[in-house]
Copies of this chain bind each other. A is one copy, B any other.
Amino acid sequence: MTSQIFSPGLQQTLDLIGIFVFALSGGLMAVRKNMDIFGICVLAEVTALGGGVLRDLVIGATPVAAFSNVGYFSTPLAAGLVVFFLHPEVERINRAVQTLDAMGLGLFCVTGTVKAHDYGLSFVPSVALGILTAAGGGVIRDVLALESPALLRWDREIYAVPALVGATAVAVLIGTGHLDAWTATAAALCAFVIRMLALRYGWRAPRAWHRNGSRTSEE
């Protein structure tokens, strides 16, 4: 999250919003799983920061940003407390949370790809780390809650595809020398819009060919 496409203040603000919303989704999962306040805070932390931590570990950016920046680390705790005291209200505005989550998805797939490229990774691995930054925290959340990771399930609206599109767009922009604040924003918006459309129209990814019912989703 060190790469400066945006001004430092704007970047930090966007990061914190994304982290806060991801943390809400982690805290809500903990409430559904009947965990205590500590479980809520832990799931909030891992959901919000897990993707960035995995990215930083893979590229060797240690100490990882999530732990060296107090704001990044404290924000999920605040989100955890919000869920602890107000979880029925947070559930009620679930549609708003999903919209904000889609914004976090767009933001993090862009910043993750840029940071991976800054550390010398080539096209395909940079895209993969962009997706990992955006989606990794949710996978850790699901594993700790003993849920089948939503990212991998065919019966959930696509989450990785928007991240893939956004990350690929950024990697192409970097490769062609056109990455700036405006094009990065466009890439993030692109991922955001695809995710919102997927939620709106129930878009799903196909299952394995020949599998009973798998082709119907493409006809």
Contacts and interface: CB of A to CB of B under 8 A. Distances in A.
Interface of A: 30-31, 33-40, 42-43, 45, 53, 57-60, 62-64, 67-68, 70, 73-74, 83-88, 116, 119-125, 128-129, 139, 143-146, 148-149, 151-154, 158, 160-161, 204-211
Contacts of A31: 207-208, 211
Given A38-B161, A68-B120, A87-B210, 13 more contacts: A33-B152, A34-B207, A35-B154, A39-B151, A58-B63, A59-B63, A60-B60, A63-B120, A70-B123, A74-B124, A86-B209, A143-B143, A144-B152
**Copies of this polypeptide in the complex:** 3
B63 A63 contact: no
Contact of A62 (B42, B59, B123): B59
Contacts of A149: 39, 144
A169 to B, nearest CB: 18
A32 B125 CA distance: 27
Contacts of A35: 152-154, 207
A42 B150 CA distance: 12
Contact of A84 (B70, B83, B208): B208
Nearest to A160: B38
Nearest to A64: B58
Given A36-B153, A87-B208, A146 B144 contact: no
Given A67-B58, A121-B68, A144-B139, A37 B206 contact: yes
Secondary structure at chain A's binding surface: helix, strand, loop or mixed? helix
B209 A85 contact: yes
In order of increasing CB-CB distance, the 10 nearest A-B pairs are A60-B62, A39-B152, A36-B154, A36-B205, A67-B125, A31-B208, A38-B160, A35-B152, A59-B63, A85-B209
